[in-house]
Structure 1
Amino acid sequence: MKAEEHTSCISVVPIFNHLDKESQKIIATKAMPRKLKRNDFLYQAGDVDDSLYIVHQGQIRMTHLAESGKEQLIRLLNPGEFTGEWTIFSDTSYHEHYAQATRNTNVCMIRREDLLELLKQYPEISTAILKTMANRLQESQKQTASIATEEVTNRIIYYLEDLAQLNQEDETTIELPMSRKDLASYLGTTPETISRRFKELEEEDLIKQLPKNKIYIQSVEELLFAAR
């Protein structure tokens, strides 16, 4: 990864892209490249957590493996998103999840000691990181509560409603940001159940499944009323 690509990696990250170009160049000098092929692990549970990892190109799939062997999708990281932020708070922390490339992926790494120096120089970065961490915690709590208390159809409905909120329209077309298999893992069910429930919602004229992983929602309000 060339110097300009380092800067490009930094410029796509919300925690850094509010800084001026010269500051971004300084931060980019601390970034180290790492290339992953599809299915390569960025890190695994139990590995030392000592770096901030920024996705420059590609995608990282973060999962948790239960003692039973069941895999739970935590989130997908796309270009501009990052992981490893907990390294700020402890020099002896370990990863609890698995981070794996879903395709050929380029990552920028910033070591803990370099990150701490940058936070001293640019304290506003701390606020941006904490905001992201708070949003992720809220998302994780919502996901856990939904799996524990909601029937599968409701989990699907609330997930689609969250995506539809981005368009702020009652009648809308959304694109699922993950495969049906990953969606099943994220919602704590099976791909077969996801397919059945989508078909049921379609038969009730609440959604229409379109090519390229898109879903047409005739009325978000009516879809929510269908929650059991």
Structure 2
Amino acid sequence: MSDHDLHIVESIIESNYYTKGNLVFREGEQSESLFIVNNGLIKLTQNNKEGKQHVLRFLFPGDYFGQFALLHNKRHYATAEVVEGGLVCRMHRKDFLPLIEKNTALAFSFLMSMSEQLQQADELAGSLHILEAEKRLARLLLHLSSKNKQEYGTEPVWSQIHLPAAKKDFAAMIGTTPETLSRKLNKLETMKIIEVSKRTVVILDVKALYQIAEY
């Protein structure tokens, strides 16, 4: 965006700091705002009919959520829980809609950003349901590493991933069990593709990981 458009958007943003364990919103609550992660980490979850929690995805700095609340009067489809404390920015529908109605360039930028996010979500969701567990794991590791690259912008950090959740939650993201996840991580480590230390994964051979992911 231009400096002028950026200044206009910043004028309607409010920011709040959330500590670990706080909820930004709950599933089923009325939704009327767009939220942007400035720093920290957020987990989106849903509960099934039996009350079991399912992790949908993690939101990193630069990610946004609740965008459909700006266009539709709907309830939140998920709960947003803070995994790592940080600043979350918020824009209300009543403030944002008049801006995009008057500014076609801003409206186009917003549309393009939403389209890109939907494409990434579709590609990730599709691969996590169709592919074998090993390929799903490789794709998720590459997805998380790309988030680190976006956040820090340096090659050394790009190859290091801090798993953003407990092993059972991380396993649920690729539709497998914690035991299977451990076996797959151990296999990749034996192959010298990654190195695992507690919840930190270092990618040693990015090309090999891309081959397993079949990108």
| Fold agreement, TM-score > 0.5 | yes
**Is 1:67 the counterpart of 2:49 in the alignment?**
yes
Alignment equivalent of 2:185, drawn from 184, 198, 205: 198
Which ranges of structure 1 fall in alignment gaps of 5 or more residues?
A: 1-17
Shift of the 225–36 alpha-carbon distance from structure 1 to 2, 3 Å rule, reads closer
Which structure 2 residues correspond to residues 209-220 of structure 1 after superposition, within 5 A? 209=196, 213-218=200-205, 220=207
Which ranges of structure 2 fall in alignment gaps of 5 or more residues?
A: 150-156
Tell me what 1:7 maps to.
none
Tell me what 2:164 maps to.
179
The CA distance in 2 between the partners of 1:118 and 1:69, in whole Å, is: 40
Quote how far apart the aligned CAs of 1:178 are. 3.1
**Is 1:102 the counterpart of 2:87 in the alignment?**
no
Aligned-partner residue type, residue 36 of structure 2: I
Tell me what 1:129 maps to.
110
The CA distance in 2 between the partners of 1:142 and 1:226, in whole Å, is: 12
Kept after mapping to 1: 8 A contact 2:129/2:175: no
Tell me what 2:2 maps to.
19
Quote how far apart the aligned CAs of 1:83 are. 1.4
The CA distance in 1 between the partners of 2:69 and 2:134, in whole Å, is: 37
Aligned-partner residue type, residue 2 of structure 2: L
Q: 1:162-206: CA deviations, max 9, x gaps?
A: 567898xxxx97222533534323212233322221101222334
Shift of the 33–221 alpha-carbon distance from structure 1 to 2, 3 Å rule, reads closer
**Is 1:151 the counterpart of 2:132 in the alignment?**
yes
Tell me what 1:3 maps to.
none
Larger Rg: 1
The CA distance in 2 between the partners of 1:81 and 1:159, in whole Å, is: 16
Aligned-partner residue type, residue 55 of structure 2: L
SS of equivalent to 1:107: strand
The CA distance in 1 between the partners of 2:31 and 2:117, in whole Å, is: 18
Q: Which has the higher helix share?
A: 2
Range that drifts further, 125-134 or 214-223: 214-223
The CA distance in 1 between the partners of 2:175 and 2:191, in whole Å, is: 23
Aligned-partner residue type, residue 92 of structure 2: R
SS of equivalent to 1:176: strand
SS of equivalent to 2:31: coil
Range that drifts further, 210-219 or 178-187: 210-219
Quote how far apart the aligned CAs of 1:93 are. 1.0
SS of equivalent to 1:137: helix
Tell me what 1:38 maps to.
20
The CA distance in 2 between the partners of 1:79 and 1:30, in whole Å, is: 19
The number of equivalent residue pairs is: 204
SS of equivalent to 2:163: coil
Kept after mapping to 2: 8 A contact 1:59/1:76: yes
Q: 1:10-64: CA deviations, max 9, x gaps?
A: xxxxxxxx221x5433333322233322111111111111011122332222223
Tell me what 1:81 maps to.
63
Aligned sequence identity (%): 24
Kept after mapping to 1: 8 A contact 2:39/2:61: yes
